[in-house]
Amino acid sequence: MRKVVFDIETRNIFSDVGSNDPSKLDISIVCAYDSETDTYSSYLEEELPKLWPIIEKADMLVGYNSNHFDIPLLNKYYHGDLSKIKSLDILEEIRKVLGRRVKLDQVAEATLGTKKSGHGLDAIVWWKKGEIDKIRKYCLDDVKITKDVYEYALKNGKLFFKEGGKANEIKLDTSNWEKKNEASMTFSLPF
């Protein structure tokens, strides 16, 4: 199964656009891991056409808060409908069990013993200063953490999150995570 783990950083925040709709925001960079090639890559907004063939060949997209944020935002730039590709949103899986959201940083620290290298708001500041390399590194770090969290959950059927200095277990049913969907995809690019 070809998986693409991805994350997006934006140029602005909801208060800048007067809406909580992710599609109103503007992408600064998208970073991705392609399981078929075992490579990481990054794409500035103007480079997104290079990302589409990778995403279109994916059996599944993997992200953290991706169904509610990343995919709707990315769809703004795509000529098809990325929601037709099977998607695994790790935060959504956690929320099904806990009934609430937890931050990727809390999960990474308790599950992997690592912390994120920054915060999404840092990326906005870096964008305004033209510090693209900092945004790229931060976003790639988030993709690596998301990939590692996904793989840990798949192997162990659980994750942990840190809260109040304590690690708490989240049992997850991962039995259908890698089951292929046979949904048809409308491709936007010639092959």
Decide if 48 is inside a domain: yes
Q: Which of the four pLDDT bands, split at 50, 70 and 90, describes residue 120?
A: confident
Decide if 52 is inside a domain: yes
34-65 pLDDT, tens per residue?
999 999 999 999 999 999 999 999 999 999 99
Decide if 130 is inside a domain: yes
Residue 164 pLDDT? 87
Q: Which of the four pLDDT bands, split at 50, 70 and 90, describes residue 135?
A: very high
In CATH, what number is assigned to the domain containing residue 138? 3.30.420.10
Decide if 184 is inside a domain: no
Host domain of residue 109: 3-171
How many angstroms from the chain centroid is the CA of residue 10?
A: 13
For residue 90, the tally of other CB atoms under 10 A from its CB is: 22
Residue for token pair 């990302």: 51
* Nearest CA among 33, 58, 51 for reference residue 140: 33
Q: Which of the four pLDDT bands, split at 50, 70 and 90, describes residue 190?
A: very low
Residue 182 pLDDT? 65
Q: Phi-psi region for residue 88, left (φ > 0), alpha (ψ -120 to 50) or beta? A: beta
Q: Number of folded domains in the chain?
A: 1
Decide if 190 is inside a domain: no
Residue for token pair 């600064």: 28
Decide if 155 is inside a domain: yes
Decide if 42 is inside a domain: yes
Residue 188 pLDDT? 52
Q: Which of the four pLDDT bands, split at 50, 70 and 90, describes residue 121?
A: confident
Tokens matching residue 64: 């953290």
Q: Is the pTM of this model over 0.75?
A: yes
> How would you classify the pairing of strands 60-63 and 3-10?
parallel
Decide if 12 is inside a domain: yes
For residue 189, is pLDDT > 60? no
87-117 pLDDT, tens per residue?
999 999 999 999 999 999 999 999 999 988 7
How many angstroms from the chain centroid is the CA of residue 144?
A: 10
Residue 185 pLDDT? 52
